[in-house]
Amino acid sequence: MHTLTEHARCLYGDEYRPVPECEEEHDEHYFIEELTFADADEVLGMLRELCPYLNDGCLPVRVRNLAYRLVLLQRPDEPALMREAAHSLYLHGPTWDGIAADLRKRADALEPNQLTH
């Protein structure tokens, strides 16, 4: 059985490592279910390993967006995560710029003395 990160790597590839040979069946629908019910640490581990610089990696944007959304639902009061999610949204198209701006505002409200960029 795969971890969430291994499942993602088999489905989408990995910019930094070869995809291991694997005999398990991979199904995006199952992966999305697995992602939906994963804990925040597991989801963040996947994001950090497969997209260590935010603007890289092979994860589809829809998977990144869902992953950050799920993490923020589990950790709603973590300004650093809000800013990271906002940065990811800004990098992947203007469609989500309003949501990214709202996340930054929420982060600033929680941590008003933090310098933002």
**Amino acid making up residue 7:** H
Query: Tell me, what's the pLDDT at 115?
Result: 59
State the number of CA atoms in the 13 A half-sphere of 83 facing the CB. Answer: 13
Query: Tell me, what's the pLDDT at 93?
Result: 79
Q: Are 31 and 51 in contact (CB under 8 A)?
A: no
- State the pTM of this model: 0.90
Residue 24's SS3 state is: coil
Total count of residues recorded for the chain: 117
Q: How far apart are CA 78 and CA 32, in angstroms?
A: 24
Point out the residues of the chain with pLDDT beneath 70. 114-117
Residue 18 tokens, joined: 């070869």
